[in-house]
Chains A and B, each alone.
Chain A
């Protein structure tokens, strides 16, 4: 109970903007009931395991892009693909990449503080910014990832679009091209464990379009303002709702 009291909770009477991170926007899109319970009733959602290895690759990638930023040259992954973009130099770059900080924008209409920590930002010759997201995993279907067709790829696309929205609202010109740097650990190449992982790296382009963000923020605000808990989501789309519904039906 003590822990729960630390969760950020929306207070309908408060005049302070309520912060919604890009993760919370995704939570809202996934399940309105769970979002409400978490943000309005301040009941913490089940935690997932921390992805330390993924964070480690993110950190190393960021360092590697920082070198290219310092020299103001395209990073090798982009150079190899003949994409003429260089890492964006800005005094707030570290803050924008920091979790719980990120790029921020106060969407006054709904009084929401929107926030998202971007992995990297590139800039083209016209001064337009392209958000970049790093993803690392191990999959046999690495070749298919470039089509971004699996259901969970929708989260990646939403992520890039929210970053595009935030950067535009911070006064920058945004390119329609965003990128995922996808690092796929290769486990078939080495028979022996040599205390290292090799990665196949792909630069996957995605055209962003973020007109959906503000209407979604309006819906979030309207949900937060309501006094009733929304119905259970389609059990196929929310594991928590399915679990609770099955318990309810079995009267456990």
Chain B
């Protein structure tokens, strides 16, 4: 299957609330050779209901004329991206940190733009691979596979720009989406050649159902986990899936299960909370690095424990279903308790996973929505359920406010006025937050005597002042 290397440049890093600013991708064959005529690059105007994050603008080197004057509106860009991906799929979508960011951001744009099947890139035959995970695993398997810069704290840096620099990969303009795509493809090619075992393992976890098979078919699996700036080996034995979240729950075989087998509910619950934890989580849809057991068995402390004892531990776990059931019950109770405590009301943008899939009639209306002209779409607003009706109203407000009845226009205008001018600690970017960031950045640039930077900040300031002005009398 071909690889679709993709990258997005966005107005902030909050996937629920951001606006796309640029999307680029390119198709490569199984040998990582670019397929002619498949480069795709779109820029769009920022959504009129979004305040950008100043750090994101600076990182992406986006100027205000681009935010306001790109040829495509946000909705048109999302629809073009959607059409393009459908045209070239099935694909293995590949990006650097794609799992946590680009893919989630894309799914949410589809969700807000009333696309019925937002998860299609996560569905077979499509697969998703993340070069960030691959790079970390590859470095751990063999230090020589990849050169890494070192952070001031002494840990390896795995940012795309840094990896390109350390490995002599051409990266013309960091955070320019097409430049990132081509550099990412070069990095992928390098990983593909230097660590075929890591690459092939990653292909086996590029879809959640495949990852589940890997977990079930291997008594011991080597799992690469990255935290506190370091990758580490875990020799895990999969014991069950989380009763609520369906994540794979594994036993870290550095711990002997014997001492826990006869514990009661309370005592076991206490032990489960202690660090280092004997239960490890493997999320099947995150392209985690799961390799043959031999890798972890060479690492400490597993090499000292020895395969004989590790297999004995596996056998003990397999032969004690009551123990396993008790752990399941504890995890279920913890999840339930968490749900009871967390009663925060979610706004529509945050309810993608909580609400599940749209109903069949909702999906039919979404499909119809995209076949009509904007004028003819208007009556559909009332046909959608509350959440999707809200998204439809927002789309009209952003794309064709002149077509909206005054009452709906005012409803949406006031809502975004209250959101964007909020002085509360909210999850999205607000005008007050922007000014605070602007002041901090000004102080920094002043100190650095960065005249160009200061000029850019003035441009951004003026842009956000206009947003403020638009909403302040709502």
Q: How large is the interface on B (under 10, 10 to 19, 20 to 34, 35 or more residues)?
A: 10 to 19
Whether A192 sits at the interface, judged by CB under 8 Å, is no
When distances are taken between beta carbons in the complex, the residues of chain B under 8 Å from A148 are 2, 29
Report the Cα distance A236→B88, complex, angstroms. Answer: 24
Interface string of A149-178 (1 = CB under 8 A from B): 111001001000000000000000000000
Interface string of B72-92 (1 = CB under 8 A from A): 000000000000000111110
Least CB distance from A149 to B in Å reads 4
Stretch at the interface among B31-39, B279-287, B409-417: B31-39
Whether B443 sits at the interface, judged by CB under 8 Å, is no
B33, A207: Cβ atoms under 8 Å?
Answer: yes
When distances are taken between beta carbons in the complex, the residues of chain A under 8 Å from B31 are 209
B27, A149: Cβ atoms under 8 Å?
Answer: yes
Cβ-closest chain A residue relative to B35: A147
Report the Cα distance A143→B38, complex, angstroms. Answer: 13
Interface string of A125-153 (1 = CB under 8 A from B): 00000000000000000011001111100
B125, A151: Cβ atoms under 8 Å?
Answer: yes
Whether B30 sits at the interface, judged by CB under 8 Å, is yes
When distances are taken between beta carbons in the complex, the residues of chain B under 8 Å from A147 are 2, 27, 35, 38, 88
When distances are taken between beta carbons in the complex, the residues of chain B under 8 Å from A205 are 36
Report the Cα distance A154→B30, complex, angstroms. Answer: 9
Whether B324 sits at the interface, judged by CB under 8 Å, is no
Whether B1 sits at the interface, judged by CB under 8 Å, is yes
**Chain B at the A interface: SS class:** loop
Report the Cα distance A147→B213, complex, angstroms. Answer: 29
When distances are taken between beta carbons in the complex, the residues of chain A under 8 Å from B38 are 147
Report the Cα distance A147→B125, complex, angstroms. Answer: 15
When distances are taken between beta carbons in the complex, the residues of chain B under 8 Å from A149 are 1-2, 27, 88-91
Report the Cα distance A226→B339, complex, angstroms. Answer: 58
Cβ-closest chain B residue relative to A209: B31
When distances are taken between beta carbons in the complex, the residues of chain B under 8 Å from A151 are 1, 90, 125
Complex interface residues of chain B between 208 and 260 (CB less than 8 A to chain A): 213
Cβ-closest chain A residue relative to B4: A149
Least CB distance from B90 to A in Å reads 6
Least CB distance from B413 to A in Å reads 42
A144, B30: Cβ atoms under 8 Å?
Answer: no
Cβ-closest chain B residue relative to A206: B29
Report the Cα distance A150→B35, complex, angstroms. Answer: 14
When distances are taken between beta carbons in the complex, the residues of chain A under 8 Å from B87 are 143-144
Complex interface residues of chain B between 73 and 114 (CB less than 8 A to chain A): 87-91
When distances are taken between beta carbons in the complex, the residues of chain A under 8 Å from B213 are 236
Cβ-closest chain A residue relative to B36: A205
Interface string of A224-238 (1 = CB under 8 A from B): 000000000000100
Report the Cα distance A178→B31, complex, angstroms. Answer: 16
When distances are taken between beta carbons in the complex, the residues of chain B under 8 Å from A157 are 30
When distances are taken between beta carbons in the complex, the residues of chain A under 8 Å from B2 are 147-149
Interface-central residue, B27, B29, B38, B87, by most chain A CB under 10 Å: B29
Extra pairs beyond A144-B88, A151-B90, A236-B213 (8, CB < 8 Å): A143-B87, A144-B87, A147-B2, A149-B2, A151-B125, A154-B30, A205-B36, A207-B33
Show the binding face of A for B, using Cβ within 8 Å: 143-144, 147-151, 154, 157, 205, 207, 209, 236
Show the binding face of B for A, using Cβ within 8 Å: 1-2, 27, 29-31, 33, 35-36, 38, 87-91, 125, 213
